[in-house]
């Protein structure tokens, strides 16, 4: 496989993960740096991919630590692995925040099912809840969907680098890619796995 084909294939895999809930790349690690300079990582759901622009969209509660982290330091790493195709993708880039009331957040909110909107009601992520059992979590959050929308935001990650690691026989393959501001592939090279 040639480098441009490998790059294209990696982005096809990411794009299909945004719509295929069974894709191994559907849940990826989004890594940031907190205000104390410590690395932070969490699994997030890949929501939308714009291949031409090299962007990936994630949803979040604007009261979450990651929102504050990216507001202070917008650089991020996204790490995903698909066991089905034995592919690891590590992307480095920048995050742009789109808060409540922004055009992108409003449009994304309108497309969310009710059960997903419920997760944004109630208190901030990580805050202790009044629920007494785990089963009550979906019903004891106060507020309505509109309240959830007031804390719903988008993280739009723009990739500038991709480290693509393909496990396989007779040999593993690893390649590095770089993109410009427009998302155009500007370089690709093979490296030792």
Please tell me the distance from the alpha carbon of residue 158 to that of residue 160, in angstroms, as a whole number: 7
Q: For the chain, which residues score pLDDT lower than 70?
A: 1, 127, 129-130, 134-146
pLDDT digits (tens, 9 = 90+) for 10-57: 999 999 999 999 999 999 999 999 989 999 999 999 999 999 999 999
Give the Cα separation of 96 and 173 in Å (integer). Answer: 32
Domain coordinates in residue numbering, the chain: 3-101+152-191
CB atoms within 10 A of CB 98: 19
User: Are 137 and 130 spatial neighbours (Cβ–Cβ below 8 Å)?
Assistant: no
Question: Quick one: fold of 3-101+152-191?
Answer: Pnp Oxidase; Chain A (2.30.110)
Report the alpha-carbon distance of residue 100 to residue 89 in Å, rounded. 30
Phi, psi of 186 (to 5 degrees): -105, -20
pLDDT given at position 106: 96
């Amino acid at each position: 496989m040639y480098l441009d084909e490998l790059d294209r294939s990696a982005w096809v895999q990411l794009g299909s993960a945004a719509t295929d809930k069974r894709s191994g790349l559907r849940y990826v690690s989004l890594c940031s740096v907190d205000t104390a300079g410590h690395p932070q990582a969490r699994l997030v759901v890949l929501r939308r991919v714009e291949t031409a622009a090299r962007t990936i969209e994630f949803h979040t509660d604007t009261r979450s630590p990651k929102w504050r982290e990216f507001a202070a330091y917008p650089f991020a790493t996204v790490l995903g692995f698909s066991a089905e195709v034995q592919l690891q993708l590590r992307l480095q880039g920048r995050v742009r925040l789109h808060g409540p009331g922004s055009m992108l957040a409003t449009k994304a909110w309108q497309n969310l099912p009710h059960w997903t909107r419920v997760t944004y009601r109630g208190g901030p992520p990580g805050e202790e809840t009044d629920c007494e059992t785990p089963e009550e979590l979906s019903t004891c959050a106060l507020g309505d969907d509109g309240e959830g929308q007031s804390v719903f935001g988008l993280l739009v990650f723009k990739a500038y680098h991709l480290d693509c690691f393909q496990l396989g026989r007779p040999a593993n393959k690893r390649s590095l890619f770089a993109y410009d501001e427009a998302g155009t592939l500007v370089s690709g090279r093979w490296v030792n796995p």
